[in-house]
Amino acid sequence: GESVGLHLPTLSVQEGDNSIINCAYSNSASDYFIWYKQESGKGPQFIIDIRSNMDKRQGQRVTVLLNKTVKHLSLQIAATQPGDSAVYFCAEVPSGTYKYIFGTGTRLKVLA
């Protein structure tokens, strides 16, 4: 929603540059990870996911990297566009559960 980004860390990037958004996850038993994008006034949208048996997965202009050693997840956006401006947050799913654990998010601001 509109107020989601008010208290979040903000990453500002120039249009055309690459963006890297980071997420530290909490549960070493998590085996599935997802990145979501939430634009102002909208619900979160799925961007990309990765299973714990992978280190890297690529989509269209997006790449997710998983480092299980330090429990770190990152989202890379290539050639960032104004439409990429949104709040991004990660989710981890502990093995055998229905419940996602969501990060609090990072606000990406694309500068023209």
| Contact residues: other proteins, CB under 8 A | 1, 3-4, 6-8, 31-32, 34, 36, 41-46, 49, 51, 89, 91, 98-100, 102-105
Query: What's the closest the beta carbon of residue 110 comes to other proteins, in angstroms?
Result: 21
Please, which residue, 13 or 105, has the CB nearer to other proteins? 105
Please, which residue, 70 or 99, has the CB nearer to other proteins? 99
Please, which residue, 66 or 91, has the CB nearer to other proteins? 91
Report which residue type is found at 18.
N
CA 87 from centroid of its chain's CA atoms: 9
- State how far the Cα of 51 lies from the Cα of 19, in Å rounded to an integer: 22
- State how far the Cα of 107 lies from the Cα of 22, in Å rounded to an integer: 11
Query: What's the closest the beta carbon of residue 15 comes to other proteins, in angstroms?
Result: 27
CA 112 from centroid of its chain's CA atoms: 22
Q: Both tokens of residue 47? A: 């961007």
Query: What's the closest the beta carbon of residue 78 comes to other proteins, in angstroms?
Result: 22
Question: 67 phi and psi, to 5 degrees?
Answer: -120, 100
Query: What's the closest the beta carbon of residue 44 comes to other proteins, in angstroms?
Result: 5
